[in-house]
């Protein structure tokens, strides 16, 4: 009986210490985009992609990526033209909100996004993920983006493709 009580006390102490030590969630940290592969329409890959950063806390995330082949064009003057603004807008993806993990599926629920339909209530995006030490691979099918269309989440209707983001932990 004393051995059981001692084991139980040790287990409770271990759990308390782990909770107080601030044990990280598996994705928690700052991740830099180090490779991108896009399949399907507009396919390309790059082992030195445009900048991208994914940040995960225990329950929230933020992402800003430039998932295109070419670098973002600079504005010619201090006052960009409408065409320059549109090109800048279309060259990047950004959103931030909450996330959860179920097995190897990451579901993000944007609270703020470049695309307003993707940050309205009920919108969500899913990724399959694989974590290998300080390397994280996120895979998203075009149909895994569920933004609001006619006030309901609906899979994207863009041509079928997959995007593979390879990230390296920087913090």
**Is 76 within 8 Å of 84 (Cβ atoms)?**
yes
Q: What is the pLDDT of residue 22?
A: 59
CA-to-CA distance for 147 and 42, rounded, in angstroms?
Answer: 21
Q: Which residue has the higher pLDDT, 123 or 159?
A: 123
Tokens at residue 125, please? 């995006």
Looking from the CA of 159 toward its CB, the CA atoms found within 13 Å total: 6
Pick the more confident residue, 148 or 59: 59
Q: How many helices (H) and strands (E) does the chain have?
A: 2, 11
pLDDT given at position 14? 36
Type and span of the H or E element at 11: helix 2-20
Which residue did the predictor score with more confidence, 155 or 165? 165
Task: Provide the pLDDT confidence category of residue 150 given band limits of 50, 70 and 90.
Answer: confident
- The CATH architecture one would assign to domain 24-169 is Beta Barrel (2.40)
pLDDT digits (tens, 9 = 90+) for 118-144: 987 889 999 999 999 999 999 999 888
Name the residue with higher pLDDT: 1 or 51.
Answer: 51
pLDDT at 2: 47
User: pTM above the 0.85 mark?
Assistant: no
Q: Residues 45-92: pLDDT tens digits?
A: 999 999 999 999 999 999 999 998 899 999 999 999 999 999 999 999
pLDDT in tens, 3-51: 543 433 333 333 333 344 457 789 999 999 999 999 998 899 999 999 9
Question: Would you state the structure tokens that stand for residue 147, as one six-digit string?
Answer: 């933004």
């Amino acid at each position: 009986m004393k051995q059981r009580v001692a084991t139980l006390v040790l287990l409770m102490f271990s759990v308390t210490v782990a909770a107080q030590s601030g044990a990280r969630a598996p994705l928690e940290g700052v991740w830099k985009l180090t490779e991108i592969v896009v399949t399907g329409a507009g396919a390309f890959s790059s082992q030195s992609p445009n900048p991208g950063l994914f940040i995960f806390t225990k329950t929230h995330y933020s992402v800003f990526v430039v998932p295109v082949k070419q670098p973002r064009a600079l504005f010619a003057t201090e006052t960009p033209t409408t065409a320059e603004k549109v090109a800048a807008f279309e060259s990047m993806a950004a959103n931030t909100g909450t996330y959860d993990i179920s097995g190897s599926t990451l579901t993000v629920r944007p609270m703020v996004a470049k695309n307003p339909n993707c940050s309205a209530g009920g919108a969500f995006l899913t990724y399959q993920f694989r974590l290998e030490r300080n390397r994280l691979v996120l895979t998203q099918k075009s149909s895994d983006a569920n933004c609001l269309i006619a006030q309901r989440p609906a899979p994207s209707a863009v041509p079928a493709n997959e995007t593979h983001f390879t990230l390296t932990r920087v913090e």
